[in-house]
Amino acid sequence: MSARPTLLIADGFEHLLARVVPLIQAAEPTASLHLLCTSTFSEHEAHNVSDVEDEARELGAALERVIVVRKRGSIRAALRRSRQAVSRYQRVWLSAHGDRQWVLLAGCWFSGIVAWGSRYELLDPATSRRRSIAAWQMPFLLLRRCLTRRMFNLLLSRLSLVLRLQRVLGWPDSLIVEPVGACNLKCRSCITGVGELKRQTRRLDPQRFRGLMDQIGPYLRWLDISGYGEPLLHPQILDMIRYAKDKGIPVVQIDTNANVPWRVDQLRAFVRSGVDNVIISLDGLTQEVYVQNRVGGDIELVKRFIRELLEAKRLEGSLKPVIVVQMILMRQNEHQVEAFKQAAKDMGADNYRLKHFWLNRPIGAQELNTLLPVAEEHRDFAVQDDRIINKRPPNINYCRLLWDEMFVASDGTVMPCCFDPNATLNMGNVLQEPSPGRVWNGQKYRRLRRQMVTDKGQIETCSTCIMWTVPK
Ligand SMILES: C[S@@+](CC[C@H](N)C(=O)[O-])C[C@H]1O[C@@H](n2cnc3c(N)ncnc32)[C@H](O)[C@@H]1O
Ligand code: SF4
């Protein structure tokens, strides 16, 4: 006999669901399980709602129903839909891993899907530990969690953003660090690949990296170690990841082309370094398609990397790192999109990402036209009369990144974001200053922030950005 249905809300569910569902079944053998997804979907990462529904169904054979609450449209309507969806259930499982649990709690609370009559079970899939919590306890748990240096810092940087302050009250909340500004491939999509990276591209000095982490690591919630080069080519890359994790940074991520001959032993050390996410660039499913962008690459190396990383995770008994295979949508590979989604699952990746092509290098309209996908929904640029048109031009004097993120190149040069690979908006050199604050709140950053809130249209680099657009 099936019991009353139980609701499951899982954050990052693609990779957690397969583990979480059996845990719930072991705890409640008669539970009939429904799943609620409330994710938002960014437009330049074409991962849409119907894909998520399909994945959820496939992943959780035990799931009887999948409910998707779209966050698009008015916030009030989304809150109402979420609350209505949850209030039908007496028992709700919340499942996320480590720090994400608090994000999930916050999400549940702030999106108003806390139903007072329901019983909540918080489940950590990594440890199988569970804890019952009442709805009224959530704000207190959250408050306790928020009274940390990182959350306080986030609050300060958000406040500075809202008040449009030129001098940010906090430190960056996110950081991109480039360990090597050189690469073993020659990708056509990338400024490094086509040899147009003009700034100094030496290897990042690990000692300097540690100094940077000592100063701002305790405030960071997210660190991406990649930039414009292949991070796994840095001989001390694992030490750097470990050092960052020792600073307590919740999410340390690597983007890699995976064209390195690492075998299981080395990958086990990679897993032990504590890296949280590994984004693996795989712009095609066959060697023939793959090399059309990844010039000089070997798809078999990538596949082997994924296989052996999975094996390393298994041997280390670790749920991390989350493995995401990523395809940049291009004319050369767009016919493989559907097969790619399936292949990602078959390979054992936790998730896949379809990324829109963006402009990071000087490129003529005609050449761009040969690289952009044909399908309109797969691209953000158009070519008309030899001109490149940004289909989603920034039309609002706003960019959060200037208040909460920094890009540090391998020679220490600071750029405001990764849309400026050649550092035309050079903010200074963080490795040449006694404190990163000299750059972060230096004259150049302050001037740029002022321009951002008054006349973003004058910042040339921002014209190719596809992130902050208000629909007309
Ligand atoms: C510059 S790469 C460096 C890391 C690594 N070498 C790699 O290729 O994954 C950082 C990320 O940018 C992506 N990328 C490169 N060129 C791009 C483009 N034109 N549009 C969108 N993403 C791009 C890569 O796939 C990768 O995920
Ligand atoms: S995209 Fe990555 S792999 Fe390709 S050239 Fe750029 S840095 Fe290298």
Closest CA to 213 of 171, 270, 158: 171
According to DSSP, the residues that pair with 69 across neighbouring strands are none
Laid out side by side, the sheet with 119-124 consists of: 63-68, 32-37, 5-10, 91-95, 119-124, 129-133
Give nearest CA residue, ligand 2 atom 7: 229
Instruction: Kindly state the tokens that stand for 259.
Output: 């064209």
User: Is residue 94 within 6 Å of ligand 2 at its C-beta?
Assistant: no
Q: Ligand 2: which atom is nearest the Cα of residue 228? A: 7
Residues in the chain: 472
Amino acid residing at 392: R
Q: What is the pLDDT of residue 43?
A: 47
Q: Ligand 1: which atom is nearest the Cα of residue 183? A: 6
Strand segments, DSSP code E, in 195-286 are: 222-225, 251-256, 277-281
User: Is residue 381 within 6 Å of ligand 2 at its C-beta?
Assistant: no
Rounded Cα distance between 379 and 153, Å, is 35
> Distance from the CA of 193 to the center of ligand 1, in angstroms?
10
pLDDT in tens, the chain (472 residues): 446 788 888 876 666 777 888 888 888 888 788 888 765 544 445 455 556 666 666 666 567 777 777 655 566 777 788 888 888 898 899 988 777 787 788 888 877 888 888 899 999 888 889 999 998 888 888 888 778 899 899 999 999 999 999 999 999 999 999 999 999 999 999 999 999 999 887 899 999 999 999 999 999 999 999 999 999 999 999 999 999 999 999 999 999 999 999 999 999 999 999 999 999 999 999 999 999 999 999 999 999 999 999 999 999 999 889 899 999 999 999 999 999 988 998 998 988 889 999 998 889 999 999 999 999 889 989 998 889 988 887 778 889 999 999 999 999 999 999 999 999 999 999 999 989 999 999 999 999 999 999 998 889 888 888 877 666 5
> Distance from the CA of 196 to the center of ligand 2, in angstroms?
12
Rounded Cα distance between 365 and 225, Å, is 31
The model scores a pTM over 0.85? yes
> Distance from the CA of 135 to the center of ligand 2, in angstroms?
47
Q: Where are the alpha helices (DSSP H) in 111-263?
A: 138-146, 149-162, 206-216, 237-246
Please name which ligand lies nearest the alpha carbon of 225.
1
> Distance from the CA of 185 to the center of ligand 2, in angstroms?
6
According to DSSP, the residues that pair with 382 across neighbouring strands are 389
CA distances from 219 to 157, 213, 249 (A): 11, 9, 8
Give nearest CA residue, ligand 2 atom 5: 193
Rounded Cα distance between 328 and 373, Å, is 10
Rounded Cα distance between 160 and 194, Å, is 38
Q: Ligand 2: which atom is nearest the Cα of residue 191? A: 6
> Distance from the CA of 187 to the center of ligand 2, in angstroms?
6
User: Is residue 257 within 6 Å of ligand 2 at its C-beta?
Assistant: yes
> Distance from the CA of 262 to the center of ligand 2, in angstroms?
18
Taken in order 99, 100, 104, 110, is the CA torsion positive or negative? positive
3-state secondary structure of 168: coil
- Name 341's Cβ contacts closer than 8 Å, sequence gap at least 6: 51, 352
**Residue by residue, what is the 3-state secondary structure of 61-73?**
CCEEEEEECCCCC
User: Is residue 358 within 6 Å of ligand 1 at its C-beta?
Assistant: yes
User: Is residue 228 within 6 Å of ligand 2 at its C-beta?
Assistant: yes
**Do 60 and 33 contact (CB within 8 A), yes or no?**
yes
> Distance from the CA of 190 to the center of ligand 1, in angstroms?
7
3-state secondary structure of 9: strand
Q: Ligand 2: which atom is nearest the Cα of residue 255? A: 2
| N-to-C CA span, the chain | 52
